[in-house]
Amino acid sequence: MELQMNLDWGDFPTWLGSSGALVAACLAGIISLQLRSRERKQAISSIHIDLTTGETAQARNVIGTVLYATDGLDLVGQREAISALFKLYWAVQRAQNTYRVYRLDAAAPGKMQGQEEFFLSWNFRELVENIVTFHRDYGERLHIKDEDAWNSFEERLRAGYPDLFNEFLASSAEG
């Protein structure tokens, strides 16, 4: 049995065009994957900056002072403490929106890739813990009117971060 290949030079432009289209599609796929990776890294960097600098860093400092310093509330004042709480709620909302878009897992560094995401997850977890602790210890005492923000925060954790929800809120949500 002999295999014969009969090449018609009239088919050459068709083969060349098809090969060129295939190469272009492969290159487009590779470029798309690289751009997605770059966007993901930029998103991680953006969240990290948002959670660790500027207004959020100041709010974290205020809440940390209230929670961990002797007479912390007297040092910062009620108005500043409440303002800081809402800034942290908003920081969580911004971070969660980015996490969702880029399919990042804010709560579980073991599920993430790369050192940057580990540090990001630690900051997010600490932020959540401080919000929960401040709300629990000072919410009623300071008559904070944050029901909408708290409910949104709680639902975001329940839906998006069940590990954090279970760690910090599951027992209080049941009771």
Q: Residue 25 pLDDT > 70, yes or no?
A: yes
Comparison of pLDDT for 12 and 124, the residue scoring more: 124
Q: Residue 167 pLDDT > 50, yes or no?
A: yes
pLDDT value at residue 157? 86
Q: What is the dihedral of CA 80, 121, 173, 159, to 10 degrees?
A: 120
As given in the structure block, the two tokens for residue 165 are: 């929800």
User: How far is Cα 80 from Cα 33, in angstroms, rounded to an integer?
Assistant: 44
DSSP-H helix ranges across 3-146: 12-52, 54-68, 72-76, 78-102, 115-138
% of the chain residues with pLDDT over 90: 40
pLDDT value at residue 116? 54
Q: Residue 109 pLDDT > 50, yes or no?
A: no
Cα separations in angstroms, 125 against 38, 57, 135, 157: 24, 14, 15, 11
pTM of the model as a whole: 0.73
pLDDT averaged over the chain?
83
Helices 54-68 and 12-52: crossing angle, nearest 10°? 40
At residue 106, the 3 state secondary structure works out as: coil
% of the chain residues with pLDDT over 70: 81
Asked if 163 and 148 count as a contact pair (C-beta separation under 8 A), the reply is no
User: How far is Cα 80 from Cα 74, in angstroms, rounded to an integer?
Assistant: 11
Q: Where are the domains of the chain?
A: 37-174
Comparison of pLDDT for 31 and 169, the residue scoring more: 31
Averaged pLDDT for residues 89-112: 72
- Residues 35-89 have pLDDT tens digits of 887 888 888 888 888 889 999 999 999 999 999 999 999 999 999 999 999 999 9
Q: Residue 137 pLDDT > 60, yes or no?
A: yes
Q: Residue 123 pLDDT > 80, yes or no?
A: yes
Q: Counting beta carbons within 10 angstroms of the beta carbon of residue 105, is it exposed (0 to 12), middle (13 to 18) or buried (19 or more)?
A: middle
Comparison of pLDDT for 8 and 24, the residue scoring more: 24
pLDDT value at residue 62? 97
Averaged pLDDT for residues 18-34: 88
Cα separations in angstroms, 26 against 16, 40, 41, 46: 15, 21, 23, 30
As given in the structure block, the two tokens for residue 68 are: 């961990």
